[in-house]
Amino acid sequence: MLDAGAPGLDLSRRFALSEAEAAQYLGMSRAWLKKARTARFRAAIDAPPFVQAGARRVVYRRRDLEDWVQAHVSKQC
């Protein structure tokens, strides 16, 4: 399990994470996640799946993030 790093913030029990929480969870920037949602970026690289939870709200399902990380673990030594 990935560590959120903030005391008192237990992201491991959350079903859906905000963009800021997902960035913290993955260790990436919010700017990268925002760019990763664009059609142009998604056509060039595999990006984490997201849910459009309203006109302006985007969330990331924790399980999708875990699966995405596992799919990108390098098998090289």
51 within some domain: yes
7 within some domain: no
2 within some domain: no
Mean pLDDT of all residues in 6-25:
78
Cβ 23 vs Cβ 35: under 8 Å? no
Please give the residue range of the domain that contains residue 34: 14-71
Does the pLDDT at position 4 exceed 70? no
pTM of the model: 0.75
CA–CA gap between residue 40 and residue 38 (Å, rounded): 5
What's the domain count of the chain? 1
Which CATH number covers residue 55? Answer: 1.10.1660
CA–CA gap between residue 51 and residue 12 (Å, rounded): 18
51 pairs with which residues across the strands? 59
**Model confidence pLDDT, tens digit, residues 22-77:** 999 999 999 999 999 999 998 898 899 999 988 999 999 999 999 999 998 887 65
